[in-house]
Amino acid sequence: MGPRRCRLTLTAHPPEVGNPVPDRQIRLTPASGIRMRAVRWTWQDRVPAGSLSLVPGREGIGKSQFACWLAAQVTNGTLPGSMHGQRRPVIYAATEDSWAHTVAPRLSAAGADLDAVYRAEVIADGLLTGLTLPRDCDALGDEITARGVGLLVLDPLLSAIASGIDTHRDRELRLALEPLVRMADRTGCAVVGLAHFNKSASPDPLNLITGSRAFSAVARAVLAVARDDDSEDGSCVISQAKNNLGRLDLPSLGYRIESREIETDDGPAEVGRLVMVGETERNVRDILAESGGDPEARSERDEAASWLREYLIQQGGSAKASDIVKAARADGIAEATLKRARKRAGIATTRQGFGQGSVWTLDL
């Protein structure tokens, strides 16, 4: 005869007379009951699907053009990631720019399928207004699911936060952001919010995001952007500043804003269009450090610029780039620092010919 088994039954005590039945209950789920899933990427390794990503940077640097570029890639199914080869709709919520004069023309210039990009608005009490978080999260999630939307752009994210929420207080801001994150997870849609840098000096992009630290804490990925003043064509750089779901050692990408003519109902119009120029050794953290956030980095660049001017004067005003880099390395100056100091030193670069490298010339 085997051992006797006892059955344990838990019986909740009835509420005391005069005490209401609680409307909150604790629910415990064992980890074995959780369905594990692999991370999916809307943009491979950079923008996770079903999560919130931030794109912060200074004003006038092309963040909105980047969002339009991203939207165009999603509607055309050309973005490397889980949706590659699939044309997916995009919901775009913009509050700072005119749709007729700015947003729609930028989307057109980026090559987006305009039939697949939806402007997000809310009709409340007969009035037309913008999205309000967290109030509109559930309804927005229903639309995303019904239409199979792959990307939601909030341009900027701050403008979608309900006016009664203090975005500089961590706990209050989470009341708006956490329902948005749950909606993204439920629908599998990538949410990309644009954000501005504040006016403080720091080499850390996460410390520069305007508002509470909750913005960067709740977001699973942050792609920071900055203008590279040392570049010859005035291009900008986008770097992975945070990546909770994947690699952080991703190469930075360079881009520039070019003018493109599009047709409108009023005739031709010139519109800014983002063009990716490939990987770059520069990154946003270094650019921010050089522009005022890190005195040590500025000092290194200034010293490299002085060394470079003196070296070229000794060489008669010009020398091969390979010889300069070799001499600088012998004096303890890194090649990256030397290249950043080139503009400050007033150096012009010319190509000698295929396979012969370039020559740096000092403007005497």
| Per-residue pLDDT, 10 | 39
Q: In terms of domains, do 215 and 298 share one?
A: no
Torsion (CA) 195, 200, 206, 207 in degrees, nearest 10 = -130
The predicted model gives 207-228 an average pLDDT of 95
| Per-residue pLDDT, 115 | 98
Q: What is the CATH number of the domain that holds 72?
A: 3.40.50.300
Lowest mean per-residue pLDDT among 10-24, 84-98, 281-295, 344-358: 10-24
Judged against a pLDDT cut of 70, whether residue 50 lies above it is answered with yes
The predicted model gives 81-95 an average pLDDT of 97
What is the per-residue DSSP string for 151-200? EEEEESSGGGB-TTS-TTSHHHHHHHHHHHHHHHHHHT-EEEEEEEB-S-
Q: In terms of domains, do 53 and 193 share one?
A: yes
| Per-residue pLDDT, 6 | 45
- Bridge partners of 205, per DSSP, are none
Q: Which 3 state secondary structure label does DSSP give 84?
A: coil
User: Total structural domains in the chain?
Assistant: 2
Q: In terms of domains, do 277 and 341 share one?
A: no
Tell me which residue of 181, 194, 189, 192 sits closest to 137, measured CA to CA.
181
Q: How confident is the model at residue 295 (pLDDT cuts 50, 70, 90)?
A: low
| Per-residue pLDDT, 199 | 87
The predicted model gives 158-165 an average pLDDT of 94
Tell me which residue of 289, 290, 305, 307 sits closest to 344, measured CA to CA.
305
| Domain assignment of residue 138, given as a range | 41-282
Lowest mean per-residue pLDDT among 77-81, 149-153, 346-350: 346-350
Q: In terms of domains, do 146 and 219 share one?
A: yes
Select the more confidently predicted residue: 132 or 363.
Answer: 132
Q: In terms of domains, do 274 and 303 share one?
A: no
Q: How confident is the model at residue 9 (pLDDT cuts 50, 70, 90)?
A: very low
Using one digit for the tens of pLDDT, what is the confidence trace for 297-343?
667 778 888 898 888 888 888 888 888 988 988 888 888 788 777 77
Q: In terms of domains, do 269 and 333 share one?
A: no
The predicted model gives 44-69 an average pLDDT of 97
Q: In terms of domains, do 357 and 214 share one?
A: no
Judged against a pLDDT cut of 60, whether residue 4 lies above it is answered with no
Q: What is the CATH number of the domain that holds 303?
A: 1.10.10
Asked if residue 89 is part of any domain, the answer here is yes
d(CA 249, CA 241): 9
Q: In terms of domains, do 351 and 254 share one?
A: no
Q: In terms of domains, do 103 and 159 share one?
A: yes
Q: In terms of domains, do 149 and 232 share one?
A: yes
Using one digit for the tens of pLDDT, what is the confidence trace for 219-256?
999 999 999 887 777 799 999 999 999 999 999 999 99
